[in-house]
């Protein structure tokens, strides 16, 4: 299967108003000359990005303001992504987390995280796969999971669970595809320096965070080369192989100690 060519092709990027999605959109526009459908909740951020990329990168940009914890917004995003242009690829990056003791999670947060991280991903992926299977053309979809899917950190239990779900869902679905020109990729970064990790709760963890520019570049390359699963960063990949030799209970316990230390410093 040959690599994807993004030049002058339409690519959907969710969670594009900040962080990894924002940086992926910029790199796709400037370095790959891709046209973009950018989606997120914040209209002002999306419109600023649209103006920049159209004026400076010379690409076309379509804005879809959508909250992926809302079913109607998910449906509207799917419709607008598949109408008016020929969609070539998609990066489903939107995601939210809760960092803290699970029993202290605010009421309603679980449903919002589940809807955004799992239900929206499954619904969008399902419709995109149907579309690409019927079209029978070259295409690719990448879902942003996390290393938390492999080594779940305490105090982010729900987040880790959602990321494990989407990883297994996409890995299995890949082998149901009939269109041999369609690929599904799972991108599983460790911590990234973004708005999600700016809070004081993450202070003890910030030394581990990958620069967002590097994470975006590796993610785009993983989609382009049609990787099955990809963990960015050589140290992360080597560390992941090494951790397979250790009891998972030990690894999760060590993560828990580190996360607890970060939380304790706020008290």
Q: Give the residue numbers annotated as catalytic, written as ranges.
A: 159
Residue entry with tokens 């996390």: 146
Give 138-202 as a DSSP string: SEEEEEE--GGGTSPPTT-HHHHHHHHHHHHHHHHHGGG---TTEEEEEE----B-SGGG-SGGG
Task: Extract the tokens encoding 111.
Answer: 């449903």
Q: 12: which strand partners?
A: 37, 90
How far apart are alpha carbons 62 and 79 in whole angstroms?
13
The answer to whether 171 touches 214, Cβ cutoff 8 Å, is no
Distance CA(115)–CA(241), nearest Å, equals 31
Token pair 């995109």: residue: 128
Q: Where are the alpha helices (DSSP H) in 33-151?
A: 43-52, 71-82, 109-114, 120-135
CA distance linking residue 81 with residue 69, whole number of Å: 18
20 by Cβ neighbours in 10 Å (0-12 / 13-18 / 19+) ranks as buried
Count H helices, E strands: the chain? 9, 7
* Distance between first and last Cα of the chain: 53
């Amino acid at each position: 299967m040959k690599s994807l060519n993004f030049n002058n092709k339409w690519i959907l990027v969710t969670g594009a108003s900040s962080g990894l999605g924002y940086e992926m959109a910029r790199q796709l526009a400037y370095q790959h000359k891709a046209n973009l459908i950018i989606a997120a909740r914040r209209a002002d951020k999306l419109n600023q990005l649209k103006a920049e990329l159209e004026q400076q990168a010379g690409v076309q940009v379509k804005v879809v303001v959508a909250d992926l914890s809302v079913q109607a917004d998910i449906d509207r995003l799917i419709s607008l992504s598949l109408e008016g242009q020929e969609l070539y690829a998609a990066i489903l990056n939107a995601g939210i987390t809760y960092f803290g003791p699970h029993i202290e999670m605010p009421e309603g947060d679980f449903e919002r995280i589940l809807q955004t991280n799992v239900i929206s991903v499954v619904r969008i992926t399902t419709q995109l796969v149907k579309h690409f299977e019927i079209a029978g053309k070259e295409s690719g979809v990448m879902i942003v999971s996390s290393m938390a899917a492999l080594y779940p950190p305490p105090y982010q239990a729900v987040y880790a669970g959602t990321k494990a779900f989407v990883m297994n869902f996409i890995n299995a679905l890949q082998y149901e595809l009939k269109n041999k020109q369609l690929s599904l990729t799972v991108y599983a970064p460790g911590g990234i320096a973004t708005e999600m990790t700016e809070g004081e709760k993450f202070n003890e963890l910030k030394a581990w965070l990958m620069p967002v520019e590097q994470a975006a570049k590796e993610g785009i390359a993983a989609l382009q080369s049609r990787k099955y699963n990809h963990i960015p960063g050589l140290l992360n990949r080597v560390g992941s192989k090494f951790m397979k030799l250790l009891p998972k209970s030990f690894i999760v316990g060590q993560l828990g100690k580190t996360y607890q230390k970060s939380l304790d410093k706020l008290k």
